[in-house]
Amino acid sequence: MSAQPTTSPDTGMLLDGRYRVGELVARGGMASVHRGHDQRLDRSVALKIMHPHLAVDEEFRRRFAREARSVARLAHRHVVGVFDQGEDGDRIYLAMELVEGGTLRNRISRQGQLTVRDALEVTGAVLEALSAAHRAGIVHRDIKPENILLSDDGQVKVADFGLARLIGTAASSATGTLLGTVAYVSPEVVTRGVSDERSDLYSLGVVLYEMLVGTQPYTGEAAVHIAFQHVHEDIPAPSLRAPHVPQGVDSLVTWCCARTPSSRPASAEEALESVRDLLRTVPDSVLDAAPLTAERVHTQDLPHLTASLDEVDLAQDGAVRSFPEGLAARAQRSLGDAEPGADGEAAAGAPAGRDPDGPDDADLGAVDLHVPLPRVPDGRHLAVPRRGPSPAVRILGLAAVLALLAGAGLAGWRWYATAGPGGDRVVPVLQGEQLADAEAELASRDLGTRTQEQFSDSVPAGEIISASPEPGAVIKRDTPVTIIVSTGPQTFAVPDVTGQDLETATAALEDAGFVLAQGEPAYSEDVPEGSVISQSTPGDAEALPAGGVVTVVLSQGREPIPVADQRGKGYDTATAQLEDAGLQVTTSWAFSATVPRGAIISQDPVGGTLHRGDTVSLVISKGQELVTVPAVTGSTEAEARAALEAAGLQVVVSKPAGTPATALVSAQSEVEGTRLAKGSTVTITLP
């Protein structure tokens, strides 16, 4: 057997600038799976990259994104997590949890049968995953061993939720699409093309059978033969092939695999409760017993009967050598196992393909041709008399039966697949679809459409709320299906409450069916304190559904403005600061012996707060006042003093002792006409 390639054209690529594509893990009919590395979060992931022929289909790309978003919301310990989905050129991909280990298919191929305990524990884990998915409205549609991952640390995880529906839509005519799942398909999928939660339970029942027995319940020359058996035959009890299986587990398998959906468990939770009961009540010796097939019972439990039986050694007379390859082996190859790695093995992160330690084709064929002996009360089997048909007759009879089954199955399949005018049509699941998608889906099934609109608080506008007849109903071709399309929630006009006080505004909004929420309050020059300045709605909508929130901003009154002290500052600076704060400024000028010219001598008010538009008065310095020195020479002391003081000057008298009062000023320190600062000193001298 050639080694599986570990690279592909995608290996080494960087998707969306984030995901580095590593070694090839598996390749299936619809996608290839690689190990990958998320460079943004520095973690290992599994990358499922859909094949290019799917990526060119815009409808598939859109559905792929929608399904990925739905599955990404499904967070459960037994579900392979979907981290991201994206597009990079002609590649569309999923970034998923990387599960180190293998698939249930690997284990069955390697081990054959599982113990009853192991089989029930795997089944219970899958039922937990299905229960969570079904509650979220997600049906898997492709439960099979390839999609059940067994991690190295003993975890059970279910992969590929939602992808079966996508692939079925994009490639319903592809050869591998039905063949890959026909061994586990439920009767209603074959006959009516419809599946629901109970279809998942049927498929899981078949998987449980295979874990217990080591082979699938039905085999055939072609997929149509297997599908025919699913529709027309009851799944046999596992104990007919594996005598160690207790009756309670038999009942669980046949219950899940009832041909009529209404006869199966009503939900995954109900089936899970039965699994837990069995694990609790079946003795450990039975749960952990080494698996037995009918062949092993025959050779190990009844050796003393061999001599009395006419044992037919097919190998001696050449029957096996001349008979075509084992039916089970050919069925396995028809199901696509010849190509390494099915899609379901992708997230496991381990190479796929037939396990070299597993049974070969001849072994599988021998098991399928064996007829188990009937039970007797002590658990043994009755011997077959020596008389009986020869090996050649047995083989010819089997070939004839298979030919009849093939003919009948093919005819039945064609009837189901090509119903003519007047044939039955199944109403598909339309809830959550866009109107255009729903109309296209119905048209593809030769069904008409009637559209009605309805308000909905939970379904986004443009999506389907419901359909009548309901999904799964069987109706005649060209029958119209009434689709109820959501127009979103019913909306109502939002009243204007600006200018109203809080109590009045609250009452007005509540009467209209809305809820008032207070935003950050703000100052207002014209709206009184406590009244509504403005209101807003999500998206500035003028109408909202009942219960919508209207946010109002309440006034805090006029904004108080602190008055800064401008004394000593320059005129331009002081005026700009006050006006920038929203205040008016008035000015006057005055002489100052201490404040430089152009600086503020005083202001009114100083400090405190004002409101926008209020006035602040400033007194600006003109500098020192100058006066003219008068002529006082020749004047008496009294006359000179009076003249100088009248001019605003200070007087100092210099005279010798004993100078008479009538003496005249002989000199003055400042020349007549000199300009001095008011208050300056002038000295006069008397003889």
Q: Which of the residues are catalytic?
A: 142
Q: How far is residue 172's CA from residue 54's CA, in Å, rounded to a whole number?
A: 12
Q: Is residue 444 within 8 Å of residue 470, measured between CB atoms?
A: no
Total length of the chain: 687
What does R_g of the chain's alpha carbons equal in angstroms?
49
DSSP 349-371: TS--S--TTS--HHHHHHHHH--
Q: Is residue 352 within 8 Å of residue 106, measured between CB atoms?
A: yes
What residue has token string 């209209």?
512
Q: Quick one: tokens of 98? A: 């990387």
For residue 570, give the H/E element and its range.
Answer: none
Q: At a CB cut-off of 8 Å and minimum separation 6, what does 296 contact?
A: none
CA 568 to chain centre: 66
What residue has token string 């072609």?
222
Phi, psi of 383 (to 5 degrees): -80, 150
Q: How far is residue 676's CA from residue 647's CA, in Å, rounded to a whole number?
A: 10
Q: Quick one: tokens of 175? A: 């050869």
Coil, helix or strand at residue 33: strand
Q: How far is residue 146's CA from residue 95's CA, in Å, rounded to a whole number?
A: 19
Q: At a CB cut-off of 8 Å and minimum separation 6, what does 313 contact?
A: none
Region label for 234, one of left (φ > 0), alpha (ψ between -120 and 50) or beta (otherwise):
beta
Q: At a CB cut-off of 8 Å and minimum separation 6, what does 384 contact?
A: 309, 310, 373
